[in-house]
Chain A
Amino acid sequence: MLNIGEKLFKWIIKLLTFLSILLLAFIVIFIFNESFVFFKEVPIWKFIMGRSWNPLGPAENLSIFPIILGTIYVSIVGICISLPLGVGIAVILSTYTKDRVKSFIRGIIDVLAGIPSVVYGFIGLLVVVKFFEVRFSFAAGESVLAGGIVLSVMVLPFIVSTCAESMDKIYEEYSQASQALGVSKSYMIRNIILPASKRSIIASLVLALGRGMGETMATMMVIGNAPIMPKLFGKTQTIPSLIALEMGMAEVGSLHYHGLFAAGFVLMIMLLLVNVLIYFIKAKMDI
């Protein structure tokens, strides 16, 4: 009697696990399916490299090169702002604080991660964009820079937690030996911990890049949604924003509709590659 119950449970667990794993396959397949209709009209090469996005025109005019650039550019700006801050906080967390203060700071950083992206977009619009308009008299504050600033706050927790985790271990391993030599803490951090953390800093960069590229709401509200070649102070468009914005307007089954799926497909592939990269960097790190 007990045996049948055991076997049944094991079987259910295996089934549910299998279904979970299948989800990813389903996602890829469905997105590809809907994109394929588009790729029959316009080869993927042209789609990625072309420069104009005009949903009202013929199929050849649906291409996303500037949008791909915009997606990457905004993320990179975000990372450039966030990286020094994030690594700094990670250093403080792993070497200058302990126990309760440490938990408190980690808690604050985790709270940042929990704030919904719409709220970031909302504040970004009302504060950052407005700031550019008022202070620097931009005609419109929506820009790559605005997007980058908003993203930098959003990816900060990822950078901090990835770096702090490995810095903790490194600090534990080397601090005693270093202190025994009588060198200052700051010297030890600059010469041992930071160089040894290079790998995890890179991992956190890639993680942040992936996060930034996939972000929809926050960027959508502050970048101006213009599918043109991106400039730091100019408007731009990212793939997620494109999809979120135009999907409502696209008629089901139209070329526009399938074109948006195609854009989503390209984004998904880009991020899948980033995440496979993350997986391998992490795997090498644990060794």
Chain B
Amino acid sequence: MLERIKDYLFKTWLIMSALIVVLVVVFLFGYIFINGIGSIDKEFLLSEPKGIPIGIEGGIFPAIIGSLLLMLIACVFSSILAISTAIYVVFYCKSERIKSFIHLIIQCMSGVPSIVLGLFGYALLVLYLGFGRSLLSGGITLGIFIFPFIQIRVEKTLKEVDKSIITSSYALGVSEVYTLFKIILPICRADIISAITLAGGFAMGAASPIILTAAVMFAPVPESLFSPVMALPFHLYILTGEGISLEKAYGTALVLMLLLLVINIISIILNIKRKESR
């Protein structure tokens, strides 16, 4: 009898959890979509913000470009470091202690709050190195932000390569580096690209690392690595926080989410392609 009650309560808990979460997800997307779709038109996507205060009219084109460029720089910077570190840990590092140490460091890096990374970027890149608020400063800061994510995933992928295939290559007298480039990396390619793409999505959506290092309220499409940029998440914040235009804010939010959706779809497609080739 007691068991029946417990069972009933338990199942109710499960169902309620599922319902609540489903509702929340549907609501999140629906809300942005419904409210934002009205603001999106060609002018919105392709022109600069205008009006007084700036942003109340016009579009968000420089912010879209800014976000994409920041994401690009962040991905390049972080993937070089992350893939190298992953290769080192899986193939070159012989000491368990060093491996654990590196894992600890990376766990800690993933725990540094994004605003503190912004402070760091500000202190080192903007001020000390004199890059100023720029695409470069923001891109590098974002790169540090997504570095742990990529490293952990790439390491996992490299580890999962069938050891007997690697040994077979060595048994033919082939060197480690040749094996890495001709066998191991091609096997892992889709997963690595997928990880970088997902990380790029996170970089694009992050506002706090770039508040202090790159983003400004208004800037044209950047001309060099050292120009300040507009970025979608920051623009959304400004439009809302300064109360400039709710309408345009919805539009900005929707554009941001759609861009992220595209990035995620690319990543999923890559995943499916990998599963098929197995």
A and B bind: yes
Binding site for B on A (CB under 8 A): 2, 5-6, 9-10, 12-14, 16-17, 19-21, 23-24, 26-27, 30-31, 33-34, 84-85, 88-89, 91-92, 96, 107-109, 111-112, 114-119, 121-123, 125, 127, 153, 156, 184, 186-187, 189-190, 210, 213-217, 221, 240, 243-244, 247-248, 252, 260-261, 264, 267-268, 271-272, 274-276, 278-279
A20-B81, A84-B17, A115-B28 given as contacts; is B115 within 8 A of A264 (CB)?
yes
Structural contact, B208 and A279, CB atoms closer than 8 A:
no
Structural contact, B108 and A272, CB atoms closer than 8 A:
yes
Interface string of B66-101 (1 = CB under 8 A from A): 000000000000001110110111001000000000
Max count, chain B CB within 10 A of own CB: residue among A16, A112, A187, A267: A16
A2-B175, A6-B175, A12-B84 given as contacts; is B207 within 8 A of A216 (CB)?
yes
Which residues of B have CB within 8 Å of A213? 113
Max count, chain A CB within 10 A of own CB: residue among B120, B249, B268: B120
Structural contact, A88 and B18, CB atoms closer than 8 A:
yes
Structural contact, A125 and B240, CB atoms closer than 8 A:
yes
Structural contact, A267 and B84, CB atoms closer than 8 A:
no
A183: nearest chain-B partner, CB-CB = B3
Interface size counted on chain B using CB atoms at 8 A: 80
Which residues of B have CB within 8 Å of A156? 21
Structural contact, A10 and B115, CB atoms closer than 8 A:
no
Q: A92 to B176: give the CA distance in the assembly, Å.
A: 44
- Nearest chain B CB to A85 CB, angstrom units: 5
Task: Sample 21 A-B pairs with CB under 8 A, ordered by A number.
Answer: A2-B175, A9-B177, A13-B84, A27-B116, A92-B14, A114-B264, A118-B236, A119-B32, A119-B236, A121-B240, A189-B10, A214-B114, A215-B113, A216-B113, A216-B208, A221-B241, A240-B115, A243-B115, A243-B118, A261-B123, A271-B111
Q: A190 to B4: give the CA distance in the assembly, Å.
A: 13
Structural contact, A264 and B240, CB atoms closer than 8 A:
no
Cβ-neighbour of B17 out of A89, A111, A153, A243 (below 8 A)? A89
Structural contact, A91 and B211, CB atoms closer than 8 A:
no
Structural contact, B84 and A20, CB atoms closer than 8 A:
yes
Which residues of A have CB within 8 Å of B234? 118
Binding site for A on B (CB under 8 A): 3, 6-7, 10-11, 13-14, 16-18, 20-22, 24-25, 28, 31-32, 80-82, 84-85, 87-89, 92, 102-105, 107-120, 122-124, 127-128, 144, 147, 151, 175-178, 198, 201-202, 204-208, 211-212, 233-234, 236-237, 240-241, 249, 253, 256-257, 260, 264, 268
Max count, chain A CB within 10 A of own CB: residue among B111, B112, B127: B111
Structural contact, A24 and B123, CB atoms closer than 8 A:
no
Structural contact, B208 and A92, CB atoms closer than 8 A:
no
- Nearest chain A CB to B76 CB, angstrom units: 13
Structural contact, A190 and B144, CB atoms closer than 8 A:
no
Q: A189 to B13: give the CA distance in the assembly, Å.
A: 13
Structural contact, A275 and B110, CB atoms closer than 8 A:
yes
Structural contact, B13 and A88, CB atoms closer than 8 A:
yes
Structural contact, B111 and A272, CB atoms closer than 8 A:
yes
Given contacts A27-B116, A272-B108, 17 further A-B contacts (CB under 8 A): A6-B177, A27-B117, A30-B123, A30-B128, A31-B123, A85-B17, A96-B14, A108-B25, A114-B201, A153-B28, A184-B7, A186-B7, A186-B10, A244-B118, A261-B119, A267-B115, A276-B107
Which residues of B have CB within 8 Å of A240? 113-115, 208
- Nearest chain B CB to A104 CB, angstrom units: 11
Cβ-neighbour of A217 out of B18, B22, B84, B208 (below 8 A)? B208
A115-B257, A119-B32, A279-B104 given as contacts; is B123 within 8 A of A13 (CB)?
no
Q: A19 to B151: give the CA distance in the assembly, Å.
A: 14
Structural contact, B264 and A92, CB atoms closer than 8 A:
no
Structural contact, B108 and A30, CB atoms closer than 8 A:
no
Structural contact, A217 and B237, CB atoms closer than 8 A:
yes
Cβ-neighbour of A84 out of B13, B88, B119 (below 8 A)? B13
Q: A35 to B201: give the CA distance in the assembly, Å.
A: 32
Q: A153 to B26: give the CA distance in the assembly, Å.
A: 13
- Nearest chain B CB to A206 CB, angstrom units: 10
Which residues of B have CB within 8 Å of A278? 107, 111
Structural contact, B123 and A33, CB atoms closer than 8 A:
yes
Q: A26 to B176: give the CA distance in the assembly, Å.
A: 32
Cβ-neighbour of B107 out of A89, A119, A275 (below 8 A)? A275
